[in-house]
Structure 1
Amino acid sequence: MTKTVTGTYESVNQIKNARNDLIAVGIPQEQIFVDEENYQIKVMIADETEPEIEGILKNHDASSTTVTTK
């Protein structure tokens, strides 16, 4: 099952830093979507990587994180 983890931030710099960390842990760039207008980053992942992804987003001070299942 695929999940989307969304992190909402207060600045574009936070988003860029979170994106760099996601890539550094092996998340393919094709699975990372940046919405600078809404200050959000969305990551399409498999179930087993959800806690790791949420942790990375929270480490960059996401004001909120949500997980949706498709």
Structure 2
Amino acid sequence: MTKTVTGTYESTTQIKNARNDLIAIGIPQEQIFVDEEKQQIKVRIANETEPEIQEILKQHDASSTTVTTD
């Protein structure tokens, strides 16, 4: 089962920094989606990595984070 963790931000700089950190911990780029219009980053992940992804998104001051099951 996979989940999508979404972080909403106020700037594209925050999104870029979060994306770089996600890649640095080994999240494949093809699992990271940036929606610049909505100022969101979405990460498709397996269940066991959800807490780590949420922590990274929060470290970059996400105004909100949500998790949906795919």
TM-score range, shorter chain: over 0.9
After TM superposition, the score normalised by the length of structure 2 is 0.99
Q: Which residue of the partner structure matches residue 17 of structure 2? A: 17
Q: What residue identity is the alignment partner of 1:28?
A: P
Moved over 2 A (4+): none
Gaps spanning 5+ residues in structure 1: where? none
Q: Percent identity?
A: 84
> Using the alignment, how far apart are the partners of 1:36 and 1:18 within structure 2?
13
1:57 and 2:18 aligned: no
Q: For residues 6 and 12 of structure 1, what CA distance do their matches in structure 2 show?
A: 14
Distance apart, 1:23 and its partner CA: 0.1
- Alignment RMSD: 0.2
Partner Cα distance (1:44, 1:69) in 2: 10
> Normalising by the residue count of structure 1, what TM-score does the alignment of the two structures yield?
0.99
Structure 2 unaligned segments of length 5 or more: list them.
Answer: none
Give SS of 1:27's match: coil
